[in-house]
Chain A
Amino acid sequence: MDLEAQFERAVEAEQRVEPRDWMPDGYRRTLVRQIAQHAHSEIIGMQPEGNWISRAPSLRRKAILLAKVQDEAGHGLYLYAATETLGADRDDLTGMLISGRQKYSSIFNYPTLSYADVGVIGWLVDGAAICNQVPLCRTSYGPYARAMIRICKEESFHQRQGYELLMTMMSGTDAQRAMVQESVDRWWWPSLMMFGPPDAESSNTEQSMKWRIKRNTNDELRQKFVDMSVPQAQKLGVTLPDPELKWNAERGHHDFGQPDWEEFWQVVGGNGPTNAQRVAHRRKAHEDGEWVRAAAAAHASRRVAREGVA
């Protein structure tokens, strides 16, 4: 039996693929692309929330937000490490990100315009990310699956923190309640877009499902997210901005409207509200840090030469 047939049989039997195992080039490429995009998303995702650290309205909220953004940097680190087990290089991947050759989650191309956005990102955006990511804890590639277990735990904690902020704000003043509703109105549709285009238009789904890199279709996950969010919105006391949203007893799921897919493709295509700003910010941090990384490398090699320590 040839290697490829053996590989496919192992994956079909839900066996984990490890870094030293033989794997098809396409599988390796798809994984590097997907994990790198996920890593980039964590790193770019530091910006919209980081935008509010200096203005956090209480010291407790400042600590929570700073710790959350720090966790995102940590997630980026684990994921870049997972790509390195596939032979990729973090510097190359960073180069792809800051030159616009690799993408990151489009949700981070929307601006954060009020402190309620910090809570709504936790509740809806992290909630959508969890729906997308929990199945990846069982993805076929071992290092990715293991990184995802840790990430999902922290993401679920972030989601609860975000929801708790919104509950607190809803119990505050009228101005705070209005702030939460306005934020939900802005983030609901972009959150639904996080599951990707409808299955009929998704180019990567079929092969990725076969390789067990992906385990559910975009539309399945989107439905799960809507069903999960509706009771949470009710408990919170906000209205989700979709007139078509209603329970369908026959299906046992909520019916809901479609996001503006034209806007989705515009944002994916680079023309979102903050695409250029996010990439420029990352590029500037990377370029401004070049001399520091060069100095650290020079010092390390000089130390090895001088003291024989690695």
Chain B
Amino acid sequence: MSFDNAYESLIDHEDAHWAFGTGFTEALAGVDRDVPDVDRADLAAYCLMLGDDALVLSHRLAEWCSRAPELEEDVALANIALDLLGQARLLLTRAGEVEGEGRDEDALAFLRDERDFRNVHLAEIECGPFAGGDFATTVARLLVFSSWKIAQYSRLRGSADPVLAAVAAKGLKELAYHRDHAAQWVVRLGDGTDESHERMRAGIERVWPFLDELYAPHPVETRLAGVAVDPAELRSEVDGVLDAVLSAAGLTRPADVPAARVNGRAGRDGVHTESFGYLLAEMQHLHRSLPGAKW
């Protein structure tokens, strides 16, 4: 590498050295965007469910940026957050396209109210760096979330919606890295010191009540047979992964005591936890303050 490269790069205009990419339109280049013959409102709602899961967890993980226990971990958690944000953008764009009312990814992310978000509670709960958890809770959530998403996306690859199938195929490679990263930390912390073992145990306990919601079929999912994945099918596969990691970490699987619902409803129905309103207030404030602005 010549010492003059840095000077040259001031005038070159190719964006190849951007570390993790910011574009997304090319991500699904060549993918058929036909809408399968199902109820459009259902399909749009399903895209929102998946998109909101990714968007909201990405937001939570990005809260670690500049607060991680090691610089390497600042880089890794930001990387995972960026992957999920990329998935969210593809899914929200698809939701808007299927809905056909002219809403783009930003209209869906910034102009919907809490009741219209359809992510699971696991994605939104506070697991650190602020109140509600610590690094152990964060990796516990990431392990559960990515193991569940891998089971879901590996089935979604065969969806009758070509865009969902393509997003799933692309996302799986990323999720495999996320799960590996989380699993390694769960094992390290479970095995590390007395303190880290105790924190890891508490972290797992904190997220465990939110597992049940991951496997509860929503009527939209049930009606979209062939397009959507039946979440009830995922439980045994995810259980197997979690049991293997917990055992390697020297941790015991907590008892299954699912968090109670509100009149039978939870995240997929737009009924969220208290902290979620604050997340949206922060995320949406600037976009809503300047209507008609260009970003």
Contact = CB atoms under 8 A, between A and B. Distances in A.
Interface of A: 43, 46-47, 50, 53-64, 66-67, 69-71, 73-74, 76-77, 80, 115, 130, 133-134, 137-138, 145-146, 148-149, 152-154, 156-157, 165, 168-169, 171-173, 175-176, 281-282, 284-285, 288-299, 302
Contacts of A59: 55, 85, 88-89, 92, 105-106, 109
Nearest to B105: A59
A64 B22 contact: yes
A298 B66 CA distance: 24
B193 A294 contact: yes
A173 B292 contact: yes
B9 interface: yes
B5 interface: yes
Nearest to B11: A156
Contact of B19 (A47, A71, A169, A173): A71
Contact of A54 (B59, B105, B188, B196): B59
Given A168-B294, A176-B294, A54 B3 contact: no
Contacts of B295: 57-58, 60-61, 165, 168-169, 172
A133 B285 CA distance: 36
B170 interface: no
Contact of B9 (A67, A69, A153, A172): A153
Nearest to B74: A73
B286 A63 contact: no
18 contacts: A54-B59, A58-B106, A63-B22, A70-B74, A70-B82, A80-B71, A154-B17, A157-B9, A172-B295, A173-B290, A285-B67, A288-B69, A288-B134, A289-B135, A296-B192, A297-B192, A298-B191, A299-B191
Contact of A295 (B63, B67, B193, B286): B193
A43, A47, A60 interface centre (most CB from chain B within 10 Å): A60
A58 B135 contact: no
B3 A138 contact: yes
Contacts of B92: 59
Interface residues of B, number: 66
A299 B184 CA distance: 11
A149 B6 CA distance: 5
Given A46-B65, A57-B290, A299 B15 contact: no
B86 interface: yes
B44 to A, nearest CB: 18
Nearest to B63: A54
A67 B195 contact: no
Interface centre among B59, B89, B191 (most CB of A within 10 A): B191
B275 to A, nearest CB: 13
Contacts of B282: 54-55
Contacts of A73: 66, 71, 74-75, 78
Contact of B85 (A63, A130, A169, A290): A63
Contacts, number: 199
B101 interface: no
B70 interface: yes
B81 interface: yes
Q: Is the interface of A mostly helix, strand, loop or mixed?
A: helix
Given A137-B7, A149-B5, A291-B196, 8 more contacts: A58-B110, A60-B89, A66-B62, A70-B19, A285-B69, A292-B135, A294-B196, A295-B196
A288 B128 CA distance: 11
A70 B5 CA distance: 23
A46 B74 contact: yes
B1 interface: yes
A55 B285 contact: yes
Contacts of B191: 295, 298-299, 302
B114 to A, nearest CB: 16
A137 B192 contact: no
B62 A156 contact: no
Contacts of B75: 70, 73-74, 77
Nearest to A62: B85
